[in-house]
Amino acid sequence: MSNSIPQRKITVVGAGYVGSTAAQLCAQKSLGNEIVLIDILEGRPQGIALDLNQAAAVEGLGARVVGTNDPRDTANSDVFIVTAGVARKPGMSRSDLLAINAKVIISVAEYVRNHSPEAFVIVVTNPLDSMVHLCRAKLGFPGQRVMGMAGVLDSARFSWFISEATKSSVVDVKAMVLGAHGDSMVPIPQYCTVNGVTLKDLVDRASIDKMADRTRKGGAEIVNLLKTGSAWYAPASASVAMASSILNDQKRLLPCACLLNGQYGFEGIYMGVPAILGKNGVEKIVELPLDNDARILMHKTAGAIEADVQLMRDMKLL
């Protein structure tokens, strides 16, 4: 095993497409020397782990992937990337998933709390904002150690649509999407640039509105194209980018679902906002000046999240 790989343990919960791709990316990026892939389905995580370890012989990777069904094998993990849960089907909203996936999150939170009390937790399971809220409540961890993967993915989708519309390289595009990871998300065109040039100087308002709307429906567009299942490459990349920023103390400013304590005028809810991620987790939430339209949309998206949280209370999940 390469001595250059940090002696760290990363657990990916859920061996579906998102989880298995996240495990692969963690190994390829040498984020830790041990990558644990856990799933309730017997044989699946073990088979994927065996395949990834054999791929390591070709790629020259030193990280070892462990497939398991036993939560005890996740003990003392530094980071958890939680992808487990039922994926959306065509016509299904994220909120429809709440009752099913809440049970998964509660189960995962129990063994994370018991076996890895110092871990950072990145929730990918939908409906994202309510699931990370539930996860943190069941963990009892400080808010800065529990976050949701939302804005990184949504901003990546917005970036690609901007790249297409401006006929520029996506590498040069920087986009920002705030709010809930769902239909009420808030693309922020005023903070979108192509190599420093603001979006409004490159395309007209109608084009921007069209891209923003497509971003809001970005997940559903992929679901409808695939017919079965939902996106996995970009969600996996987004979650691993967050894990990398924490583990390597990169201090990247990334939009993600964070616990708000007065920022943007909201208290006690998880919502997508720009945050600096480093060795302490969410090290700073950045409050951007927003125009009136964006502020109105942020209140709307907060209302959608609060409705899901209240529904969980009604269901005795919180």
Q: Which residues contact 136 (CB under 8 A, 6 or more apart)?
A: 121, 143, 146, 259, 270
What one-letter code names the amino acid at 39?
Answer: D
Phi, psi of 4 (to 5 degrees): -80, -10
DSSP designation for 179: B
The 3-state secondary structure of 139-154, one letter per residue: HCCCHHHEEECCHHHH
Is 299 annotated in the active site?
no
How many CB atoms neighbour CB 184 within 10 A?
Answer: 17
| Tokens (6 digits) for 241 | 């980018």
Distance CA 261, CA 183 (A): 24
> 98-115 and 292-314 helices cross at what angle (nearest 10)?
80
Please list, residue by residue across 59-70, b when 16 or more beta carbons sit within 10 angstroms of its beta carbon and e when fewer do.
eebebbbbbbee
Q: Which residues contact 34 (CB under 8 A, 6 or more apart)?
A: 8, 9, 10, 63, 64, 66
Q: Given CA atoms 144, 148, 149, 154 in this order, what sign does their dihedral have?
A: negative
Peptide bond into 127 cis (omega under 30): yes
DSSP designation for 218: H
DSSP designation for 60: T
Element (H, E) at 259: strand 252-261
Q: Which of 115, 133, 181, 299 is catalytic?
A: 181
How many CB atoms neighbour CB 168 within 10 A?
Answer: 15
Distance CA 130, CA 47 (A): 32
What is the set of active-site residues?
181
